[in-house]
Amino acid sequence: MNHVKSFQNKLVLFQKQLEKGILLQFKSMQTILSETVTPPDYSRFVKHCEDLKVNFEKRFQDLHGRQQSLYLFENPFLVNAEDFNDADLQMEILDIQANSALQGFFTNHTLVAFYERVDREKLPLIHHNACFWAVQFGSTYVCEQSFSRMKVNKSKYRTKVTDKHSDAILRLGISPLKPNVEKLLEQKRMQCSGK
C-alpha cells in the first residue's frame, strides 16, 4: 500500500510542477526542451498526469476501503484497535500486541512466516485477514509467473505447441511440486525393441 500511496503522491507533485513549467523531475525533457526556441505547452503533460491519477485511483479504489485491514496485515503491532468496528477483532489486536514473543518473531521474519506462527484458534479474525491479503498478492505473482512461462513456451522456437500441450506445459511450469523422476522411472517397465 505504501508504494501505491507514494506513486499517487508523485503524480500530484508531477502535475503541480508541470502546471508551473518546472521540470525538476523530468531531466530528459529538460534536455530536449533546452534545444527548442519556442516555449512548450505543458497542458498535454498535465492532462496525462491527471489521467494517470484518475486511472490509478479507479484501479486501487478497493484498497482505500480496506486500508485499515491492509495495515493490520502489514503490521498488527502498529494499528490502533479502536480504529476497527468489530469488538472481537479489537480484542484480538490487543492480544497480539501484548504477545512479546510474536512481536519479536515479527521483526525477524517474513509476513508469511509470521502468520504461520499466529494461532488461528486464538486469533481467527487476524488469521482470516492475513489469509485474505496473502492470497491477493500470491495470486498476482502466480499470474505474472504464468504469463512469463507462456511467453517462453509460445515463442518462435516452439510454434508447434498446441493448446493441449500448452496447458500441460503451463501446469508443470508454475507448479511448486517437483516430480521424483527416479521413482517414476522405476515404476515404468523398460521395453526393449529388436531381437
Q: Quick one: 71 and 164 in the same domain?
A: yes
For residue 108, is it within any domain? yes
Q: Quick one: 82 and 49 in the same domain?
A: no
Average pLDDT, the chain: 81
Query: pTM of the full predicted structure?
Result: 0.52
Grid coordinates given for 162: 498446441
| Residue 168 confidence (pLDDT) | 72
Q: What is the pLDDT of residues 109-153, one digit of tens each?
A: 888 889 999 999 999 999 999 988 887 766 556 666 666 666 666
Q: Quick one: 74 and 170 in the same domain?
A: yes
Close Cβ partners of 57 (under 8 Å, ≥ 6 residues apart): 8
Q: Quick one: 105 and 37 in the same domain?
A: no
Q: Quick one: 72 and 47 in the same domain?
A: no
> Residue for cell digits 517437483?
178
Confidence of residue 78 (pLDDT cuts 50, 70, 90): very high
- Tell me if 166 sits within 8 A of 146, measured CB to CB: no
Q: Quick one: 97 and 136 in the same domain?
A: yes
Q: Quick one: 59 and 114 in the same domain?
A: no
Q: Quick one: 113 and 152 in the same domain?
A: yes
The span from the CA of 84 to the CA of 47, in Å, is 38
For the chain, how big is the Rg over CA atoms in Å?
Answer: 26
Domain housing 158: 67-174
Q: What percent of the chain has pLDDT over 70?
A: 74
DSSP state of 116: H
DSSP state of 67: H
For residue 57, is it within any domain? yes
Name all contacts of 78-86 with Cβ < 8 Å and 24+ positions apart.
86/125
For residue 105, is it within any domain? yes
Q: Quick one: 156 and 74 in the same domain?
A: yes
